[in-house]
Amino acid sequence: MPGPHPGNTPPTPTHPWHHRVMRTVYALIVGIDDYSTRDTLKGCVNDARAAETWLRQQRGVRHAILPLHDEHATKAAVLRGIQRHLGRAGAGDTALLWFSGHGSQESTRDPREGTGMCQALVCHDSLQPGGQPLLQDQELGALLDRIAARGTHVVAVLDSCFSGGATREDGGPRARGVAWRPWWHTATGTTGTRDGGGNGPEPRRHVLLAACRPQELANEDLLDGAWRGYFSHALLHALDTLGPTATYGGVHALVEERVRSLSGRVQHPELRGPHDGRFLTGEALPTSPFLLRHTASGWEVDCGYAHGLRAPGAEFTLLDRPGGGRRVVVRDVGPESSRVEPAGWRPGPADREGVHAVTPSALAFPPAAVTVVGERGAVRLLSAAISGEPLLTRDGGNGLPLRVEATADGWARVSGGAGRDLPPLPLRTATDAARVAGCLAHITRWHHIRDLTNPDPYLSALVRITVDKPLVGDLTRTATGDPVLRYTRGGREPQARVRIHNDSDRMLWCVLLDLTDSYGCNATALYEGDFVKPGGTALARRGEPVWFHLPPGRTVVRGASATDWLKLIVTENELNTAPFRLPAWSPDAPPPSRSAAGPASAGLLHLSPPQGTRDAGGPAHGVGRWGTATAVVRTEVP
């Protein structure tokens, strides 16, 4: 399968004495109120000027800003700004597109659009009859991704209607959207599409912060005495609140709640990109995949049934105060998130204004039942290491059964996982034991993801994954109907399109995971997360074929094989996918961190030890509207 998504992080210096040149932020900031028609707006230029002011106040970067307002923001001018201004950005720089104005959408039969709609940005001259001066999603996405491919960190901030598709009517709040004009035609064919699946790592792509979902309207209104877009106003407020270490995930968490409150919960901002990336740079910051925020309904953690959380009673520990140990307890579990209450501490105003990284504790997820046999000294070492891993227990139970045999010559043989057989691991020191325990926790977390299922089968019965006849290679099926893809006789990897089917009567949000037999989970390579229309079909990798190949290090010889579990998770609202990102296990991985100051590098794999003997509570109930489907794909060399 394709390699893990590299994200949009800048190059890392190869030597400690390497001097990093100051980053330049090339910004194209577009604000359009005056469309020379009755479809005028009031807050877009204000948004653009506020964004420019904020950017000029940021220290540690150089600014190269091109503002385009009203009549200066024609399609030709915007295209020139992207190609000639943002296109000047190089590796280690940032290219920022900020657009506040109208958006539009139209139905399409393009199979790459799971929502069944195409979106576009409406430039100043787009409403003039007879032409095609609007900027469509496929064209815009391709332009930005070409810049990102050069090592530039690319960010698009779009405050327009339907902007969640990568693209603001009157009285009270005003919507930033216009009806599709009859003289506009939608893009067809493959021209301008993003680069897709191939043999190698995922291409770098831009980060998208959108004002709303693809099917929604974005609104503007009088805010703090001036007309502003809900989204732009909330975004700049969040950036000021969180400061220079703001991550995209943290910013999005605050913006989403503020916009939902302003709009009466009818506008939902979207984030497409790495949650742990630092705003404007993309630099990955150490954080937990789960965040705590205060909402109009109380405190909320973006972890729910669809992540494997079992029931009320589980706990999360805040990581923003080293050694502080502030906890929240789950009171109500939903499909995508959970309501929680602070335990033993009283939040202040600053706590309610911010967003907090949290790590699960107190058996939030079911532990694996580990059996350790063999040489006594090694057994004692490993038992001590296992006692510090909440995902592992030696007390039996109904969790995943794993077994470790400690040999007399100082090796550990791990068995019980569904992936490839693991090589023997050294087991002579406490550090060795911690590494073995980390391996067991990694396998456990991989199984948690692979085995996710809703006890209520309603939505699970209405979604499917299919693999088309290969464009390269051959396809057969097992007795149970699972696809088997074969290399060609000449050694070429099989290539086939993968489809997601929504057979329900409602719009569903979908993410397609690739779980490999190397105990990795890629949440970005196939279908990173988007809506699929009722009765609709979506194509993985935006219609490009998926290359099914042996992983690195596995020789392409007759009889060699690999197995992938394609796991589809569907919900009615967006789902936090950061917990599903799991690198393939490696025997060279460092032992897990035991620092109480923050989570280990592998996210959920090494959790803070539970305090006392608290349990996660009783059986799950009220499992909600979410579902899964799995396709097991075997790749063989004949």
Q: What is the pLDDT of residues 375-398, one digit of tens each?
A: 999 999 999 999 988 889 987 778
Which structure tokens are listed for 174? 């005003």
Domains in the chain with CATH codes = 24-223 (3.40.50.1460), 368-450 (no CATH), 460-587+620-636 (2.60.40)
Half-sphere exposure in the Cβ direction for 186 (13 Å, CA)? 18
pLDDT at 162: 63
Which string of DSSP letters, residue by residue, matches 591-634?
PPP--TTS--TTGGGSPPPPSTT----S------SEEEEEEEEE
Q: Which residue ranges in the chain fall short of pLDDT 70?
A: 1-21, 38, 107-113, 116-117, 131-132, 162-203, 322-324, 362-364, 590-623
Q: Which amino acid is at 138?
A: Q
The candidate with the shortest Cα–Cα distance to 627, out of 336, 366, 270, is: 336
pLDDT at 146: 94
Spatial contact of 538 and 108, defined as CB atoms under 8 Å apart: no
> How many residues are present in the chain?
638
Which structure tokens are listed for 567? 């796991």
Residue whose entry in the numeric block shows the structure tokens 């399409």:
108
DSSP state of 197: -
The candidate with the shortest Cα–Cα distance to 516, out of 436, 599, 405, 442, is: 442
Q: pTM, whole model, 2 decimals?
A: 0.84
pLDDT at 137: 79
Cα of 279 vs its chain's centroid, Å = 15
pLDDT at 616: 38
pLDDT at 189: 36
pLDDT at 587: 86
